[in-house]
Amino acid sequence: MKQYRAGRPAGSVGTSRKQHARFRRRCGCVLPLVGCLLMSVAHADDAPTQSDFGGTGLWQTPSARMAEDGELALTASHVHPYDRYNISLQPMPWLEAIFRYTAVSNRLYGAHALSGTQSYKDKSIDLKIRLWAESRYLPDLSIGARDVGGTGLFSGEYAVMNKRFGPIDASLGMGWGYVGGRGDIKNPLSVFGDNFNYRPAPVGTVNNAGKFGINHYLHGPTALFGGISYQTPWHWLVLKAEYDGNDYQHEPLKNNLPQNSPINVGAVFRPTRYLDLSLAYERGNTVMFGFTLHTNLAEGTGPTKSLDPPPATRVTTKPTQDPEQVDWANVARELRKNAGIQVSSITRRGREVVVSGEQEQYFYSAKAVGRTARILDNQLGPGIDWFTVVSQLEGLTTAETSVNRQRFNELLDHEIDLTDFRRSAEQNAPTPRSEEVLYSAPLKRVDQSFALVYSQSLGGPDNFLLYQISAVYNLDYHFTPNFWWSGLANVTLFDNYDKFKYDAPSELPRVRTDVRKYITSSTITMPVFQLTGSHQLGNDLYGLAYAGMLESMFGGAGGEVLYRPFGERWAIGTDINWVKQRGYDQDFSFRGYHVVTGHVTGYLDLGGDHDITVALSAGRFLAGDWGATLDVSREFRNGVRMGAYATKTNISAQQFGEGSFDKGIYVSIPFDLLLPRSTTSRSGFVWDPLIRDGGARLAKRYTLYSLTSDRDLDNFNDNLDKVVE
């Protein structure tokens, strides 16, 4: 039976800049993304339409087209007996990724005692790559594969090309497997061997689900497919017709279907800029209907920040007072209120005033720097030429950003443009220098927050949707800037986890597959109760130590060291932890299992137009297995991040169980794009469907790479225009 990953009991939505360093990405909540789809306004009216399977295409067949860079689409379609729920991502201009749940309505999930009358659920991942884009004479050409990481029930590969003729977009392709199920032509690859003429049956078993079956790809009989998409004179109406390459006589689960015609026809209605409604007649005997919500996350700028305080009004007569005469305590309060900086100190270096502190409100650092410069300019006489903001987080100093006072005022007065101003803005590594202390703020000891959190699990054998709504209280108490206690309390308000009865089988220590017991044993839990200390070991070297209840399932002690040279796009770090399994009630009790776990991780930001980050981590996991995790992600200039990861360890696929190895796709979106008030919080969704014990890592509350995120200078440079907001 399948076991799906439950949503995080806490921290799954609305993690702040500081909390973003505390919680793992695996939040399991789709509501923030749906909200983003509904609220965003960035969408192209001529965006390619989605197929029944998700991804750009006609009805049952894919096309070579790609959506706009950064596109995200949520598609639901029904054509008996299949209900398909798809999320499509366009992380690169040439790469499309889709993850999907398929409900087979005329087949039962499993034993009635466990699943009742719930229909069978299948999950899958699709990938499509564009080899070249359309030109005057050449068509778009793409290759792709469906169901590359699931059971393989609907697996198929294809090559397809598209050419546009005015309002008509024509496609022609060749498919293998489910895409070419008609099998009416011989596999052209058989010239390389007769084995290409035969395709093994779909995997379709728990033990093999999730494998990448190389012996399946491009094997077996093939079929041609294709069709046209016609953009009518009315922008809200698109007509589509296709020749289907499948004959539905080899359906999975012995679910063969009648097909009266291979021609599928229908229409897409676009009543708004973010919604497509689809209606089609398929197989010559069946009606299909569906809808798509889509938006471009890369282009989103969010709503007007009507709830933000306006920038400080510039005084017409500049003050003549020296820095020593300024009421810096009052300035610090204004900086917190208007620039979002929780000030720790204000100092002077000759003709430069330096503000050090934590940013607690503005996601875009340029916006905070600009507001700081306005406030300081109103307070200081002509003896100061530079304003500098030093970024700090949990006692660690990461970067300093300086703007020239005169050039900043010239920018505000429209005497120079942003390009000229950029030459006078500097970012440097913080280094010890002789400074005159103008103001030292009292330590902010208490940091607390309260939130309602929704978490969920999709596609499990107990029930398709298991959900939980909780009240979460977070409290941090700082003894010093570098030493603090953190606590997290979680109270379940509403859930349907009484239906959560299934525990996945495991041949490894149960470090994660006991999740049901951790979620259902107590209404009130304490996921985190931890002491943490940070230390600046050098200009580019950072350290972290921690002990206590480190996450919902494990407590113990550990430490981390990170070397992240300023101005470079790489970093390397290591952590080691001794942890013991916690009691199911998530209190102060422990169970018998303990392990030493840790990893060495290298980070490489490839930069360029696409800002791709690659992280490779190798070490020992919670179940005692050894292996590595590869994480590849792209961050757009507005902070939206799309990525994927995979973990492979020294345990066999059989020992791991269904899925064969850990893998997932994720999206992280700044709440700043959704709300009328600036915020550093983020929302995320991870398609991370299987709980397994292999490849499991400690869900640390803090990581040094996140705590030092201001060493990535792209946020400031890519959004420098916000310095005037």
How far is it, in rounded angstroms, from Cα 114 to Cα 462?
A: 6
Coil, helix or strand for 492? strand
Domain membership of residue 434 (yes or no) is no
Q: Residues 717, 721, 724, 725: what is their CA dihedral angle, to the nearest 10 degrees?
A: -100
Q: Each residue of 73-125: pLDDT tens digit?
A: 999 999 999 999 999 999 999 999 998 999 999 988 877 777 778 888 888 88
Give the residue with greater pLDDT, 595 vs 667.
595
In angstroms, the CA 209 to CA 656 distance is 11
Q: Give the dihedral sign, CA 319/322/324/325.
A: negative
Q: Note the pLDDT of residue 39.
A: 45
pLDDT band at 273 (very low <50, low <70, confident <90, very high): confident
pLDDT of 15 reads 53
Residues 476-482: what's their mean pLDDT?
Answer: 96
Residues 254, 260, 262, 265, CA torsion sign: negative
Convert the pLDDT of each residue in 448-473 to its tens digit: 999 888 887 776 777 778 888 999 99
Rounded Cα distance, 693 and 506, in Å: 7
Residue 579 lies in a domain: no
Give the DSSP H or E segment for 706: helix 704-707
State the Cα angle at 14 between 12 and 20, rounded to 5°.
80
> Which is it for strands 275-282 and 590-607: parallel, antiparallel or unpaired?
unpaired
Residues found in the chain: 725
Question: Is it the case that residue 435 has pLDDT exceeding 60?
Answer: yes
Distance (Å, whole) CA 643 – CA 95: 12
Domain containing residue 198: CATH number: 2.40.160.40
Q: Per-residue pLDDT tens for 11-43?
A: 334 455 554 443 333 334 444 444 444 444 444
Q: Shortest CA distance to 571 belongs to which of 560, 558, 562, 559?
A: 562
Q: In this structure, is residue 127 part of a structural domain?
A: yes
Whether 357 contacts 363, CB under 8 Å: no
The whole-model pTM stands at 0.86
Nearest in space to 307 (alpha carbons), one of 672, 640, 676, 684: 676
Q: How many domains does the chain have?
A: 1
> What is the tens place of the pLDDT at every residue in 324-336?
889 999 999 999 9
Nearest Cα residue to 532 out of 707, 660, 286:
707
**What secondary structure does DSSP assign to 296-318, as a single string?**
ETTT---S--TTSPPPPPPPSS-
Specify whether the CB–CB gap between 725 and 411 falls below 8 A: no
Distance separating alpha carbons of residues 720 and 429, to the nearest angstrom: 19
Task: Say which residue, 445 or 609, is predicted with more confidence.
Answer: 445
For residues 558 and 579, the answer to whether their CB atoms sit within 8 Å is yes
Q: Does residue 275 form part of some domain?
A: yes
- What the block records as the tokens of 200 is 């093994």
In a domain, 482, yes or no: no
Compute CA distances 385 → 86, 198, 376, 723, whole Å. Answer: 55, 75, 11, 17
2, 461 in Cβ contact below 8 A? yes
Q: Is the pLDDT of residue 415 over 70?
A: yes
Q: What mean pLDDT is reported for the chain?
A: 87
293: confidence class by pLDDT, cuts 50, 70, 90: very high
User: What per-residue confidence (pLDDT) applies to 213?
Assistant: 54
Q: Which helix (H) or strand (E) holds 488?
A: strand 483-495
| Inside any domain, residue 331 | no
The percentage of residues in the chain with a pLDDT greater than 70, rounded to a whole number, is 90
More confident position, 147 or 320 = 147
For residue 665, the model assigns a pLDDT of 86
Identify the pLDDT of residue 356: 96
Among positive and negative, which fits the CA dihedral 669, 671, 673, 678? negative
Containing structural domain, residue 169: 43-296
In a domain, 513, yes or no: no
| pLDDT(682) > 90 | no
Q: Which two tokens stand for residue 504?
A: 């996945």
Asked if residue 190 belongs to a domain, the reply is: yes
pLDDT tens digits for 225-244?
999 999 999 999 999 999 99
Q: Is the pLDDT of residue 5 over 50?
A: no
Worst-scoring range by mean pLDDT, 103-107, 243-247, 300-304, 492-496? 300-304
For 512-527, the pLDDT digits (tens) are 988 889 988 999 999 9
Q: What is the pLDDT of residue 4?
A: 31
The tokens for 634 are 């792209």
Please state at what angle helix 405-412 crosses helix 365-379, rounded to 10 degrees: 100
Residue 576, token pair as written in the block? 């080691």
Residue pair 72/297 in contact (Cβ under 8 Å)? The answer is yes
What is the rounded average pLDDT of the residues 147-151? Answer: 74
The predicted pLDDT at position 314 comes to: 87
**Least confident among 213-227, 356-370, 470-484:** 213-227
